[in-house]
């Protein structure tokens, strides 16, 4: 596969639209649509910047999950606390800010931050960190009017039940699976 050219086809408030033209393995041109959170200058910019963070958080042996309405699927799903890194903000500062904004919780200890990974490589070049965090405090709603979030802590048994009955984002589903099996947390 060889990228021949990249054309910007649209600007949104949060996403920019691009068409990539590739030469496939048979030597024919293939057009492929993607979105990016960044303004891409050229193909060297694809996947170069880290956009955000997903937070796998624990408190007293329980897993933090957000039950939140997601417009892209027009339903409430279980998800991780997550958000976009602001200009000049460190990953650690983003973790603290997003936890507070979405849950009112504080960081007790950052256990680990994995290297950036691609969030949805079939449609986007968005790359995020995954952080493992111990948190403290009480859950309070600090979300904006544009978000519907119910944060909660769940035991391994409660998570096992949710996994068999409720919709999840893929990262939250993986975190929940490993948590209920006792492999994390």
Please state the domain count of the chain.
2
Q: Are residues 36 and 56 in the same domain?
A: no
Instruction: Note down the domain range covering 162.
Output: 50-180
Name the strand (E) or helix (H) holding 163.
helix 156-165
Q: What percent of the chain has pLDDT over 90?
A: 97
Same domain (yes/no): 29, 119: no
Enter the pTM of the model: 0.94
- Asked whether residue 93 is assigned to any structural domain, the reply reads yes
Q: 63 and 157 in contact (C-beta within 8 Å)?
A: no
Query: pLDDT by residue (tens digit) across 25-35?
Result: 999 999 999 99
Which is nearest to 130 in space by CA: 19, 48, 56, 59?
56
Q: What percent of the chain has pLDDT over 70?
A: 100
| Token couple for 87 | 């200009």
Answer yes or no: do 19 and 38 share one domain.
Answer: yes
Find the CATH number of the domain harbouring 66: 3.90.79.10
Supply 44's token pair. 């060297």
Based on the fold, state whether residues 24 and 84 are members of the same structural domain.
Answer: no
| 185 within a domain of the structure (yes/no) | no
Evaluate whether residue 32 is within a structural domain: yes
Residues 6 or more apart whose CB falls under 8 angstroms from that of 46 comprise 6, 36, 40, 125
Residue 122 confidence class, pLDDT cut points 50, 70, 90: very high
Does one domain contain both 64 and 155?
Answer: yes
CA separation for the pair 22, 6 (Å, rounded): 9
- 70 with 131, same domain: the answer is yes
Q: Residue 170's pLDDT is what?
A: 96
Same domain, 92 and 118: yes
User: Tokens for 103?
Assistant: 């849950």
Task: Please write the tens of the pLDDT for every residue from 34-84.
Answer: 999 999 999 999 999 999 999 999 999 999 999 999 999 999 999 999 999
Same domain flag for 19 and 73:
no
Least confident of 12-16, 127-131, 177-181: 12-16
Q: Are residues 124 and 163 in the same domain?
A: yes
pLDDT > 90? residue 109: yes
Q: Is 143 domain-assigned?
A: yes
pLDDT mean over 163-184: 98
């Amino acid at each position: 596969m060889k990228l021949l050219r990249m054309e910007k086809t649209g600007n949104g408030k949060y996403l920019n639209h691009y068409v990539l033209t590739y030469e496939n393995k048979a030597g024919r041109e293939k057009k492929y649509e993607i979105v990016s959170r960044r303004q891409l200058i050229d193909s060297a910019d694809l996947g170069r910047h880290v956009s955000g963070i997903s937070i796998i958080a624990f408190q007293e042996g329980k897993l933090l999950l957000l039950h939140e309405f997601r417009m892209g699927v027009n339903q409430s799903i279980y998800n991780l606390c997550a958000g976009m890194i602001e200009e000049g903000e460190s990953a650690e500062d983003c973790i603290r800010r997003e936890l507070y904004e979405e849950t009112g919780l504080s960081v007790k200890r950052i256990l680990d931050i994995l290297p950036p990974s691609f969030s949805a490589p079939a449609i986007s070049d968005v790359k995020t960190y995954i952080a493992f965090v111990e948190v403290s405090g009480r859950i309070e709603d600090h979300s904006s009017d544009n978000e519907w979030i119910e944060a909660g802590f769940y035991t391994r048994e409660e998570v096992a039940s949710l996994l068999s009955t409720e919709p999840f984002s893929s990262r939250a589903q993986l975190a929940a699976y490993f948590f209920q099996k006792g492999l994390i947390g």
